[in-house]
Amino acid sequence: MSAPDGLRELLLSRIADVPDYPKQGVVFKDITPLLADPAAFGALTDAFVSLCERYEADKVVGLEARGFILAAPVAVRAGIGFVPVRKAGKLPGATLRQAYDLEYGAAEIEIHADALAPGDRVLVIDDVLATGGTAEASLELVRRAGAEVAGVAVLLELGFLAGRQRLGPGLKGAPLESLITV
Ligand SMILES: O=P(O)(O)OC[C@H]1O[C@H](OP(=O)(O)OP(=O)(O)O)[C@H](O)[C@@H]1O
Ligand SMILES: Nc1ncnc2[nH]cnc12
């Protein structure tokens, strides 16, 4: 699902392009102007809440760090739990860990091993889908933690990096919803 034209224009107008950050040749998509605009942030939250309802999610997983900011208000408004997927070494309990590559590097992410249960239906939320490495690793974690992937929802998909193609098999039929694709 793409956002309706008006919402797309509003959201896009609040995402700034920052050339050569964090590395030469990368155009960084900065969502801080969107976060600073309550009308835009609220409309984005509503769009994600609608996806929770459509896919009958009963947990929201947010991906550190920008995914946390977007996913937390969605969980509150949808009345469902929020579960963080964090960069390795930050969660205090027993964790499951997954390595991955992304547009400008490599990393490892973790989830608390007992954060999800069989029967949980999880919507994974992040700001940007680039190469798809982060999202792919998060789906592995959600499934290893015993839950079902209800879907993946991102604000912005960078189509030229083919994350959708990379993520395809890992979705195992679950929907990938990008509000905006560039
Ligand atoms: O599709 P990919 O190539 O994996 O890239 C997308 C990921 O990269 C960014 O996170 P980053 O790891 O930079 O972390 P941050 O949110 O902490 O800045 C972004 O927020 C996504 O999580
Ligand atoms: N170009 C980009 N802008 C913002 N976040 C990203 N994550 C991966 N690539 C990105």
Q: What tokens appear for 97 in the block?
A: 């860990």
Q: What is the CATH number of the domain that holds 34?
A: 3.40.50.2020
Let me know if 103 is a catalytic residue: yes
- The 3-class secondary structure across the chain, one letter per residue, is CCCCHHHHHHHHHCCEEEECCCCCCCEEEECHHHHCCHHHHHHHHHHHHHHHHHCCCCEEEEECCHHHHHHHHHHHHHCCEEEEEEECCCCCCCEEEEEEEECCEEEEEEEECCCCCCCCEEEEEEEEECCCHHHHHHHHHHHHCCCEEEEEEEEEECHHHCHHHHHHHHHCCCCEEEEEEC
Residues 70, 155 contacting (CB under 8 angstroms): yes
Ligand 2 pocket residue status of 63, Cβ below 6 Å: no
pTM for the model = 0.97
**Protein residues with CB under 6 Å of any ligand 1 atom:** 63-67, 102-103, 126-135, 163
Supply the pLDDT for residue 172: 96
Q: Which domain holds residue 151?
A: 5-181
Q: pLDDT for 132-174, tens place per residue?
A: 999 999 999 999 999 999 999 999 999 999 999 999 999 999 9
Q: With cut-offs at 50, 70 and 90, classify the pLDDT of residue 5.
A: confident
Q: Determine the Cα–Cα distance for residues 33 and 168; give it in Å rounded to an integer.
A: 31
How high is the mean pLDDT of the chain? 96
Give the integer Cα–Cα distance in Å for 3 and 69. Answer: 19
CB distance 166 to 133 below 8 Å: yes
Could you give the number of structural domains in the chain?
Answer: 1
Position 1 scores a pLDDT of 72
Q: Is the CB of 68 under 6 A from ligand 2?
A: no
pLDDT digits (tens, 9 = 90+) for 103-137: 778 999 999 999 999 999 999 999 999 999 999 99
Tokens encoding 130:
């680039």
Beta-carbon contacts of 78 under 8 Å, excluding residues fewer than 6 positions away, are: 49, 52, 53, 57, 60
* 13 alpha carbon – ligand 1 mean position (Å): 20
pLDDT tens figures, 61-90: 999 999 999 999 999 999 999 999 999 999
Q: Is the pLDDT of residue 3 over 90?
A: no
Chain length of the chain? 182
66 is catalytic: yes
